[in-house]
Amino acid sequence: MKNCPVLVLLGASLFSPAAAVAGPEKFASEGFIDNEAGEKCRYRQEVISGATHFHGDSIASTIGEIVFDDPRCMRDSGNGLDGNKTLINKVISTWYSHPDAEFDSVTLHDSSLHQDVGQCIQSKRFAAIGIVIDYVVTDDSIVKVLHGPALEGCLVHVRAREPGLEVA
């Protein structure tokens, strides 16, 4: 019976959303991400420990920094950069959590807890899991992407319902 508390803690951790968070060991050091035009954009990625990019000097974390070999590959193809961001988000979100997290790679939120820069990608399944992301754009092209775990899920701002509108 000495091992009973250990088994209870182990079993509880399997069902905890926090246990679903993965680390930088899943970040690909290089690869390709398709752009909106269907071209393969080659990237290299560095893992940066102790980074304060997203949360300021008070909170350090391990983040990934993706740099595209061709700085024009993730360019605006006439529809803005949203399509390219969605394709980047889909790839990055596979490196976080378990496959069942179902990250919303299209809808970006303004922030997460204590986040100073960038945006946030929210898990559809786990409210406490989000990814912070920041796109560096030069000459209408995404040249670099920084990403890391949010401290909690994204802060979702709900707009007040206008009087007279019915909620379905």
**pLDDT tens across 117-152, in order?**
999 999 999 999 999 999 999 999 999 999 999 999
Are the C-beta atoms of 133 and 119 separated by less than 8 Å?
yes
- What is the per-residue DSSP string for 72-89? TTTB--SS-SHHHHHHHH
Cα separation, 135 vs 88, in Å, equals: 10
DSSP 49: E
Average pLDDT, the chain: 84
- What is the per-residue DSSP string for 60-72? -EEEEEEEESSTT
Cα separation, 21 vs 74, in Å, equals: 28
- Render pLDDT for 60-79 as a digit per residue (tens, 0 to 9): 999 999 999 999 999 998 88
**Which of the four pLDDT bands, split at 50, 70 and 90, describes residue 18?**
very low
Please say whether the dihedral angle defined by the alpha carbons of residues 55, 56, 62 and 67, taken in this order, is positive or negative: positive
The reported pLDDT for the residue numbered 11 is 35
Q: How many CB atoms lie within 10 A of CB 24?
A: 18
